Amino acid sequence: MQEKETIKEEQLTANENETKQEEGSENSENNQSDVDGNQSEISLEEKLQQEVQELKDKYLRLYSEFDNYRRRTSKEKLDLIKTASEDLVKEILPVIDDFERAFKASEQEEDTQKVREGNQLVFQKLLKVLESKGVKSMDDLIGNTFDPETQEAITQIPAPSEDLKGKVIDVVEKGYTLGDKVVRYAKVVTGA
């Protein structure tokens, strides 16, 4: 009997040891899972911080690139504005030279008709240069209806006939357009 009791005690002790080992292994597994959880949380947190840092870098680079682009384009616009009339000036300079030559030639010329013809040639050359740049004069205004979009009425006079009421009677100063835009309004006299 004693042997049976001894065997039972040994079995109980063995069962207790097994239970303790199982509890210890569960505790170590729990501890291990806590450690793994902390490591995964830390690694997730580190990953997010790295991602945030990368996005900040991308944002700063993009912002700097856009700022440089904006500065460069504004500088190009200023340069374009400063030199926009360069082509026109280059084409007008020969006309100025022609005027200077005409003035010198007219000093010694007795025939006014020749001086007038020379001036007309230079004037026509200047008009061609301006027309090549899109400048056009407003011609044939007399007898047409007054147009406030392109004309400026400086005065009204009694119309010489009934059909000239509200129409242009005289042009004091020609108007000019550049493309479709009015550069200078024509100054006209209208009939009342």
Q: What is the mean pLDDT of residues 10-25?
A: 58
143 contacts 167 by C-beta, under 8 angstroms: yes
Q: What is the pTM of this model?
A: 0.53
- Top pLDDT among 24 and 191 is at 191
Q: In terms of C-beta density within 10 A (0-12 exposed, 13-18 middle, 19 or more buried), how is residue 151 classed?
A: buried
Percent of the chain with pLDDT over 90: 16
Which tens digits make up the pLDDT trace of 144-184?
A: 888 889 899 898 888 888 888 888 888 899 898 888 889 89
Residue-wise pLDDT for 118-130, tens only, equals: 888 888 998 888 8
Q: Is the pLDDT of residue 55 over 80?
A: yes
What's the CA dihedral at 124, 129, 94, 98 to 10 degrees?
10
Judge whether residue 61 has pLDDT over 90.
yes
Residues 95-126 pLDDT 10s:
888 888 888 888 887 888 888 888 888 889 98
Distance CA 79, CA 68 (A): 16
Structure confidence at residue 74 as a pLDDT band (50, 70, 90):
very high
Looking at residue 67, what is its pLDDT? 94
Q: Select the more confidently predicted residue: 57 or 43.
A: 57
